[in-house]
Structure 1
Amino acid sequence: MKKTLLLLSLVFICVLSACGGPAAQPQQPAAAAGNETAPVNKELKIASLSIHLTNNLLALGVTPVGSVIGGDLKAFLPHVADRLTNTKPLGVVTEPDMETLLSLKPDLIFADKQYAGEVSKYEKIAKTVVFDLDDGTWRDHLKKVAKIVNREQQAEDFIKADQAQTERVKQLLHNKIGDGTVMAVRITAKELRVFGARRPMGPILFEDLGLKPAKGVEKISKDKAFDVISQEVLPDYDADAIFVVVNNEDGAKKLYAQLQNSPIWQGLKAVKAGHVYPIPDQPWLDYSAIGHKMSLDDAEKFLAK
């Protein structure tokens, strides 16, 4: 009987010890289902079918496994090429290399609505996210990308730094031209173009930097990035400052040289005042987070002279 009581006592003590001790903690999942901002175990393999979306990824420190290339260059854009050494070229945006895209086995595909066409062909390879780059600003696009790749804080930091840099460039421009009006032109081997308010040039000049568009710029259709004009109408714009993009081709350089030597060009108010600012096509025509920052970097350099 004593042995039985002793055995029962020992069992009772063990039960009490178990109840009073700490319970085993369940392991936390790496990512909560349905929560896009939860941390993930691995970086997503993203294939980008837009040079601008590629550059928004790079701004967040994310390198895509594959990306389309510049249509004219037939290569990655020069201002980001050094960041894409481990990225597979996927051809031009109008005709992506589907075979290479398939071989990359991406987790996600980013596409530009303007060029995406039938999205189902990409959905057969991986989940596809389509961006309308005409909806909102590059900041909105960056935030959308950041939410998908869980880099929202990086996006906020990038935008905050960009705002400070934009204010610096604004002041430099004001020191040069005051409240003067501005136009931006592009010279190709065949034609002379004037940029309107639409991306790529309009937003950075007339929205971000708050410059006043020259006469007639506001008349350019919101559905077009530019109008083609003749040299003879340049004086009608009466711009106090002109930003000039010359294509990197012999024909364009020759046409610009001819324009510079013409009485029409030499008679322009901006030319007489020394307010003509040559700018490279890249990064200025890259409407992305990185394109915007590098354009401001360029502006700070030439405006400080």
Structure 2
Amino acid sequence: MRRGTKWGTAAVSLLLLLTTACGSNNVKDEAKAQAAEPGKAIRVIATSVTYPDFLYSLGVTPVAAENYHTEFPSYFKGTFKDVIPLGGNLNLEGILSAAPDLIIGPKWRDEKSYDQLSKIAQTKLMPERDNWRDELRDIAGVLDKQDKAEEVIRDFDEHMKASKAKLQAVAGDETFIYMRIMASEAFVMGERSSRGKIIHGELGLKPVAAYPAEEESIIISLEVLPEYNPDHIILQVDGGDDGASAQKLFDSMESTSVWKSLKAVKANHVYKVGDKEWMNFGFSPVATVEAVDEIVDSITQ
């Protein structure tokens, strides 16, 4: 599943370094190739910030992994304590230094770097998918862990059903919006967005009628909020490594008479949730379960 991220290409000098280093180390000799056979790789790297979540779900700890923030998500429960952080973009030098046997990457982003990656180790590029379940199955196929992938999917689906039942017992037919405050703008995410598919689809929380159904997400102004006027607001104020700007924007909204006039605000039905741990919410099973549990706890308590 494609993430809307910025990424750059390595400098020419780095590519020359890679070519020289890889040639001198003969990383594609027969012994290396045998070690990197799918399902038998000892040292694995999955590029993009979502793929490490899939490896974790499959019980595989990579030797290095991309990450947007200074620390890996806490839901990895310490298993990534020795994993080399590669930053948020394709880091060819870092991948080379980690000496992997197998590299798994998204085709939509890494195809143009395939020659450089394949000189480091056997490289498998995965197709773009609309559903994380298919992405998980693709990666599981490379690692010969198809049965584990299906187990993860079954467990996830059962978790969503149980979570939906808990929410319906409390919320019933009342309306919800999922609102995200970022550094300079506020968004409402609808049923077509990755997170909306979870919140309104799998959890069954009713969206407001005024939201344009064809839009994945829209920038929302304070003046428009009364047209939505939901019974409940699931609110994420971006944290990350520096959430000061997003918090400042929300503070200015929260102090207005418009905000205070909303039904959800009057009824104390604004649930402030999420932070950098939500980066892969809607894009991976482990991050989504963590986010859903936070939503359920906030609403039911």
Partner of 1:87: 83
Residues 33-72 of structure 1: CA deviation (Å, up to 9, x unaligned)? xx97xxx5x44422121121100110111011111111xx
Contact 1:113 1:130 in 2 (8 A): yes
Question: Whose RCO is larger (CA < 8 A, sep 6+)?
Answer: 2
Residue segments in structure 2 that go unaligned for 5+ positions in a row:
1-36
Deviation at 1:178, TM superposition (A): 0.9
Match of 2:225 among 234, 237, 240: 234
Partner of 1:180: 174
| Residues 1:75 and 1:165: Cα distance change in structure 2 (over 3 Å) | same
Deviation at 1:174, TM superposition (A): 1.3
Match of 1:56 among 54, 57, 71: 54
Contact 1:200 1:285 in 2 (8 A): no
Deviation at 1:216, TM superposition (A): 4.5
Distance (whole Å) between structure 2 residues aligned to residue 129 and residue 237 of structure 1: 46
Q: Give yes or no for the alignment of 1:142 onto 2:123.
A: no
Residues 256-296 of structure 1: CA deviation (Å, up to 9, x unaligned)? 22222211111112222332211113443412121122123
Q: Give yes or no for the alignment of 1:281 onto 2:275.
A: yes
Residues 219-272 of structure 1: CA deviation (Å, up to 9, x unaligned)? 4545xxx32221111122232221111122222222222222211111112222
Give the TM-score of the pair, scaled to structure 2.
Answer: 0.76
Partner of 2:286: 290
Distance (whole Å) between structure 1 residues aligned to residue 152 and residue 164 of structure 2: 18
Give the TM-score of the pair, scaled to structure 1.
Answer: 0.76
Distance (whole Å) between structure 2 residues aligned to residue 43 and residue 219 of structure 1: 45
Report the RMSD for the aligned CA atoms in angstroms: 2.5
1:64 partner letter: P
SS of structure 1 residue aligned to 2:87? strand
| Residues 1:126 and 1:217: Cα distance change in structure 2 (over 3 Å) | farther
1:139 partner letter: R
Partner of 1:215: 209
Distance (whole Å) between structure 2 residues aligned to residue 107 and residue 203 of structure 1: 36
Partner of 1:129: 124
Distance (whole Å) between structure 2 residues aligned to residue 159 and residue 182 of structure 1: 26
| Residues 1:84 and 1:162: Cα distance change in structure 2 (over 3 Å) | same
SS of structure 1 residue aligned to 2:230? coil
Distance (whole Å) between structure 1 residues aligned to residue 220 and residue 295 of structure 2: 26
SS of structure 1 residue aligned to 2:85? strand
Distance (whole Å) between structure 2 residues aligned to residue 250 and residue 230 of structure 1: 20
Partner of 2:258: 264
Aligned pairs for 1:293-304 within 5 A: 293-304=289-300
Larger Rg: 1
Distance (whole Å) between structure 1 residues aligned to residue 227 and residue 205 of structure 2: 18
Distance (whole Å) between structure 2 residues aligned to residue 177 and residue 288 of structure 1: 26
Contact 1:200 1:284 in 2 (8 A): no
Identity of aligned residues (%): 31
Deviation at 1:186, TM superposition (A): 1.1
